[in-house]
Amino acid sequence: MLTNQKIKIDVCSEFGQLEGVIIHTPGQEVEEMTPENAERALYSDILNLSVAAGEYSTFKGVLNKVSQTFEVKDLLSDILQNDEVKSSLLKEICFSEGAMDIFPALMEQHAADLSRQLIQGVFLERNNLTRFLSQERFSLRPLHNFLFTRDASMTFGNEVLIGKMASKVRDREAVIMNAIFNNHPLLETTTINPNTPENILNFPGISIEGGDFQVGREDVLVVGTGIRTSTHGIDFILENIKAKKSGMQHILIQELPDAPESFIHLDMVFTFMDMDACMVYEPLIMGTNRFHTIHIRVENGKVIDIREQKNLPKALKKLGIDMDPIQCGGGIDSWTQEREQWHSGANFLAFAPGKVIGYERNIHTIEQLSQKGFQIITARDLLSGRCEIPDGKCVITIPGSELARGGGGARCMSMPIRRKKV
């Protein structure tokens, strides 16, 4: 993948035309889940790789038609060809996961093989009594969640914020993405890493994941806080904005409930679709509930105002971003809305203004989009050449009978690194 053409990281909205996106095609790490370890891996069920891989291939095929795509395993393999980077990254991973004994053997691995093992897991070598009797299968556990590349890093302008994962089982994802952005010759950016001892000391309880992080405009961030992104995590983001941004900046915060598990991130209940349209899970985003929507204004490095707002669309409208909220599950009844939200019915990836990708299984959500003027195109028709992407608004529907059971949708499975300005 190494090339002389650099890509300058630049993301100033959730809906500018997509020009570069990082993805991870699920592999053997998905097959290493069992009913016993699924909960530890943050899954409520185990996935069938053969089905999930076929669905993901369709998703990737659509992305390849609309953007340049980069696989995590290829970017990682590239940087592992540098022995200094390889040694530093392996020391960090092995030390943090209590596996320094395998460091010498990993250093002997070729870059491509090592990249695969760091994602799919390193089997435990049972060469002494303790390891022989161990109930563990791996010295380094598989990264079951890495197909959701959105969470471990997030772009804002020309910088990349590295995730501070809420669960230790995902820490290595952030370590790998930090290494890629800091060392890959193709990527031109500056990273902000909350995973340093100083930041963890100054922001106790800090956690930040990309599913909660959305860019409304160059001066507007929309961030969810719940079980995956803590208030301390948002305070960390706030301090970085105060330190670096001149003029007026806005952070809109949406509180999320701890349950059900389908509410883990903001993008499971709210996503931008166009300059004037968003997808919402109406009971939480628009309804009367106890979960706060808060607007923080920062001007020239100082917080000048913090106040509660009625809901996200109304808060955005006050900032000149007038959104037409489209209802996940349609306006039929709360049962239908709840059912489709559970399967990522509010989770859409915009690849251009008014052009989005989402699961075909959420039929009432898709019908609602049709009523709002979005042309419905199946990924199969697009990839077979039976149709093209139209000039107007559209939704490309992808299969998701298996992928949706992993707890994420098209936005979760993509990490944009470059978009055209709107």
Which are the contacts of 330, defined by CB distance < 8 A and separation ≥ 6?
336, 337, 364, 365, 367, 368
Q: How confident is the model at residue 331 (pLDDT cuts 50, 70, 90)?
A: confident
Q: Is residue 306 part of a domain?
A: yes
Which whole-number Å values give the CA distances from 49 to 54, 56, 115, 144, 409, in the listed order?
8, 10, 20, 11, 16
CA–CA gap between residue 220 and residue 256 (Å, rounded):
19
Q: Between vectors from CA 207 to CA 204 and to CA 213, what angle results, nearest 5°?
A: 140
Mean pLDDT throughout 25-52?
Answer: 76
Total tally of structural domains belonging to the chain:
1
Dist CA 128 CA 134 (whole Å): 10
- With vertex at residue 419, the alpha carbon angle to CA 252 and CA 296, rounded to the nearest 5 degrees, is 10
Q: Does residue 11 belong to any structural domain of this protein?
A: yes
Residue 349 has pLDDT above 70, yes or no: yes
Tokens 């009913």, located at residue:
35
pLDDT of 375-407, one tens digit each? 999 999 999 999 999 999 999 999 999 998 888
Residue 36 has pLDDT above 80, yes or no: no
What angle (nearest 5°) sits at the alpha carbon of residue 253, between those of residues 252 and 255?
155
Which domain does 356 fall in, by range?
A: 7-419
pLDDT in tens, 243-253: 987 889 999 99
- Residue 316 falls within a domain, yes or no? yes
| Identity of the residue numbered 194 | P
C-alpha closest to that of 64 among 347, 421, 375, 396? 396
* 1 within a domain of the structure (yes/no): no
User: Where does residue 155 rank: exposed (0-12), middle (13-18), buried (19+ CB within 10 A)?
Assistant: buried
Report the pLDDT value the prediction gives residue 3, as an integer from 0 to 100: 53
Two tokens, residue 52? 């999930």
Q: Which residues have C-beta within 8 Å of that of residue 339, sequence separation ≥ 6?
A: 329
- Give the pair of three-digit tokens for residue 422: 């709107």
47-84: burial string, b at 16+ Cβ within 10 Å, e else = bebeebbebbebbbebbeebbebbbbbbbbbbbbeeee
Residue 179 lies in a domain: yes
CATH number, domain containing residue 155: 3.75.10.10
- Residue 299: beta bridge partners? 248, 302
* 2 within a domain of the structure (yes/no): no
CB 166 within 8 A of CB 209: yes
Alpha-carbon distance of 394 to 325, in angstroms, equals: 16
Residue 164 pLDDT exceeds 90:
yes
Query: What is this structure's pTM?
Result: 0.95
Q: What is the mean pLDDT of the chain?
A: 94
Query: Which of 304, 329, 324, 302 lies closest to 312, judged by CA?
Result: 324
